[in-house]
Amino acid sequence: MWTTAIALAVLVIAGLIGWGVWQSQKSDSYAAPAGITDDGGKDAGVLAAGTGPVTVEVYLDFQCPVCKQFEASVGPTIDQLVAQQKIKLVWHPLGFLDSLSTTDYSTRSASAAGCASDGGKLKSYGDALFAQQPPEGGPGLSDDTLIQIGETVGLTQPSFAQCVRDGKYGNWVAHVNDLAARRGVNGTPTVFVNGTQLTDRTPAGLTAAVNAAG
Amino acid sequence: MAGQRWALLRPWLGAVSRLILGGVWIAAGVSKLDDLAASARAVSAYRLLPHDVATFLGGVLPFLEIALGVLLIVGLATRLCGAVSAVLLVAYIVGIASAWARGLRIDCGCFGGGGDLSAEADPGYAGEILRDVGLLVLAGFLMALPRTRYSVDSAILPAESTSGERYVANGGSEVE
C-alpha cells in the first residue's frame, strides 16, 4: 500500500508543480498599445480603422491561413464600410498558433501589430503582414523582416524597430488570448458585429449584418 | 498447456503495456509543456467546463500526464497508475465524443495544439477515440494484473514473486 501512497504523492506534487508553473507564466500586467479598446475587461482589442457607429471586431492570427483568406475575400468590403463611415474596425491580434512556427511567430507578429498601432499604422501594417504570411511549420518571419515590412508602410521610426525587437506587447497578446478564450473564441478568424458573432463570413454576410446592426 | 503459457506471458504483456501507456502519457505531456496557455485553451475549446476550471486543468494535466508516464515506465504502484490512466482516458473519450456529437470542429489538443479547426480540416474524432479506447484496454489490463516484469513493484514487494512458476502454482491468481 505504501507504494500507492508514494505514487499518489508523486501525482499530486506533479499537479501542484503544473499549477505553480502555469500561474507563474500568467502575467496580469501588460503594456497596452495605443488604440486599445477597453470595455471593462471583456475586451482588449485595438482600433484598426473607422469611426462608424457599428463595431466590427475581428479575432485574427497573422499565422492563420484562413485569416489571410478572410482578409482577401472580405477585406475590401471592410475597407469600403470603413470609408462609408459605417463601421469601426477593432482587431484582436491573437497568438494562438505559436506551435505552428519555430519562433512563436504568432505572438511575435501580434506584438509587432501593437507596435504598429503605436505608430498609427496598424491596419496597413496588418494587411502587409497577411500579404507576406509565412508558411506553417517554418521559422516565421524574423524581427528584421517584421521591421522591414513596417518600413514599407511608413513605420520608419527607431521606436517601432525597438518595440518589435523587445517583443514589447507579448504580454498584451497573452491577455488578448485569455480574454478571447473567456469569450468563447477558440479559433480564427472570428468576427463579431456589435457583439454578435457573425456566422456568414462573406462580403454579403458582413454587409447584411452591419446594415441590420446599424 | 495454454494456462501455463499465459502465466509466463502475462508479466511480459504487462511490461509492454506499461511502456506503451507510459510512453504515450509522456509524449502527450511533453508536447503540451512549451505552451501551457495553448493547453488551457485546448481544454476550453471543448466548451464543457467553466473557463477557469478548463484553464486550471490545461495547466495541470501536462504535468500529471508526465508523472503518470514516468510511474508507469518504472512500474511503481502500477494498479493505481492504471486506474488513474483509465479515469483520464474515459474523460478524454467522453470529451471528444461530446465535441463530435455537438458538431464542434476542434483539435483535440491531445498532443499539443488545440482550438477550433478551419472548415476544411478533418477533426479525426473516430481515430482519436479508437486510439484512446486501445489505451484504455491497456490501462484496464494493468489494473487487473498489475504485477509485471521489470517493475519497481515486483522488485520491492518480494512477497509476490514475479517468477513464472509462482503464477502457475497460483493458477494465475496473485494471492498465495
A207-A209-A212 Cα angle (round to 5): 105
A187 and B81 in contact by Cβ < 8 A? no
At B166, the pLDDT band (50, 70, 90 cuts) reads: very low
Mutate to test the interface with A, among B71, B120, B147 (most CBs of A within 10 A): B71
- Please tell me the distance in Å from A91's CA to the nearest CA on chain B: 19
ipTM of the complex: 0.80
Q: Residue B75 has what pLDDT?
A: 94
Are the beta carbons of A15 and B118 separated by less than 8 Å?
Answer: no
What confidence tier does A201 reach under pLDDT thresholds 50, 70, 90?
very high
pLDDT digits (tens, 9 = 90+) for A2-54: 889 999 999 999 999 999 998 888 777 888 899 988 766 666 799 999 999 99
pLDDT at A87 over 60: yes
User: Is position B127 within any domain?
Assistant: yes
Q: Report the domain count for chain B.
A: 1
pLDDT tops 90 at residue B61: yes
Question: Averaged over A93-102, what is the pLDDT?
Answer: 90
- Report d(CA A10, CA A150) in Å as an integer: 50
Whether A186 and B41 lie within 8 Å, measured CB to CB: yes
* Structure-block grid coordinates of residue A181: 478564450
- Other CB atoms within 10 A of residue A181 CB: 25
Taking the CA of residue A183 and the nearest CA in chain B, the distance in Å comes to 9
CB–CB of A22 and B64 under 8 A? no
A58: amino acid identity, one letter = V
Output b/e per residue, A159-173; b: 16+ Cβ within 10 A. ebbebbeebbbbbbb
* pLDDT score of A203 more than 80: yes
Residue B145 domain boundaries: 2-167
Rg (CA), chain B: 19
Q: B19 in a domain, yes or no? A: yes
Which overall architecture, per CATH, does domain A34-213 show?
3-Layer(aba) Sandwich (3.40)
CA B99, CA B104: separation in Å to the nearest integer? 5
Considering the domain boundaries, does residue B174 fall inside one? Answer: no
Q: What is the pLDDT of residue B158?
A: 64
B67 in a structural domain: yes
